[in-house]
Amino acid sequence: MVNYLSIDFESWAYPNLPEFITLTSEKRKILDKGFVRESAEKILKILDKYKVKITFFILGELYEWYPDVFDAMAKEGHELAYHTHRHESLTGQKVLTDSLRGSNRFIEKFHPCGFRAPEIIMQKEYLEILKKHGFTYDSSIYGPYSFKRTYGQIQEVPVSTYPLIGKPQMMFPRSLSAKLLFTEPPVGSGYLIAAFGRTIGKIYSLINKQGSPFVAFIHNWQIVPPSHALFPDAKYILMHPLYIPYMKNCQSVFEYLLSNFEISKMQNILKS
């Protein structure tokens, strides 16, 4: 069965913290210290080793920093999808339209058809904006595969959950919450991939046995942990201990999934 594992491709310098989000693009690029390039090159090598073509959800600003990195990604046959310009939380329609405007160069160049909202926080009315900008699918809610459906020409492809208790209710947004975690764990999230390690493969096999593909994502900074990152510092970890799984090196889990499951680009889901 064909499954959909994608990469949310970011600089480590994009946590939604005020001290980072207000920095200029130039300043963030300096802080990034080439991590975007380094992680892209390493991940492309891994994907080439397993001969897998995958979808990258990319921040438009990174294309301004290193256009050649993303040209190389596309040249290798991977799908370039969109993850906003600077990892903005979509708190209103204007945030999304401004973000799309900021990423004009990236969008004109690659015509991405897929979108993923930062932190999987998406409103249904934003799908109309995506449609106007040429997108054909969105993957910004958590849910079982049975929630995949079309809203005004945009296919919504949920990131996999594994319902344990109760009957899941379709709605927007469907993001990470304590309730979701305990009743319907979002097993497709990079967070649970890190927390479960290779055991996540057993859950994905169960999903496949039930007749559905799994839809999952992991971050580039989980596969190639940045060595020089200023975030998270000890104070942040102390105040946010739930962040700790995100600090795990997931390269071996990533390779395990690539070698044990059939993985494809998200855009192919539209043909299935």
143 lines the binding site for Zn ion (CB under 5 A): no
Is residue 268 helix, strand or coil? helix
32 lines the binding site for Zn ion (CB under 5 A): no
Nearer Cβ to Zn ion, position 78 or 168?
A: 78
Give the amino acid at 200. Answer: I
Question: Closest separation between CB of residue 60 and Zn ion, Å?
Answer: 13
Phi-psi region of 120 (alpha: psi -120 to 50; beta: other; left: phi over 0): left
The correct pick among 3, 4, 5, 8 for binding Zn ion (CB under 5 A) is 8
Please give the Cα distance from 101 to 87 (Å, whole number).
14
With CB under 5 A as the rule, give the number of residues binding Zn ion: 2
Nearer Cβ to Zn ion, position 118 or 173?
A: 118
Question: Closest separation between CB of residue 209 and Zn ion, Å?
Answer: 30
Question: Closest separation between CB of residue 99 and Zn ion, Å?
Answer: 13
Is residue 82 helix, strand or coil? strand
Residue 163: partners with Cβ closer than 8 Å, 6 or more residues away: 144, 183, 184
118 lines the binding site for Zn ion (CB under 5 A): yes
Bridging pattern class, strands 215-219 and 2-9: parallel
Among the residue ranges 110-118, 159-167, 182-190, 236-244, the one whose residues contact Zn ion (CB under 5 A): 110-118
Question: Closest separation between CB of residue 210 and Zn ion, Å?
Answer: 28
Nearer Cβ to Zn ion, position 9 or 145?
A: 9
In this chain, which residue has its C-beta nearest to Zn ion? 8
Q: Of residues 153-212, which lie at the interface with Zn ion (CB under 5 A)?
A: none
Closest by CA to 82, choosing from 67, 64, 61, is 61
Among the residue ranges 8-16, 68-76, 247-255, 263-271, the one whose residues contact Zn ion (CB under 5 A): 8-16
Please give the Cα distance from 161 to 51 (Å, whole number).
27
Nearer Cβ to Zn ion, position 29 or 86?
A: 86
CA dihedral (227, 86, 38, 138) in degrees, to 10, reads 120
Question: Closest separation between CB of residue 8 and Zn ion, Å?
Answer: 4
Please give the Cα distance from 186 to 193 (Å, whole number).
10
Interaction site with Zn ion (CB under 5 A): 8, 118
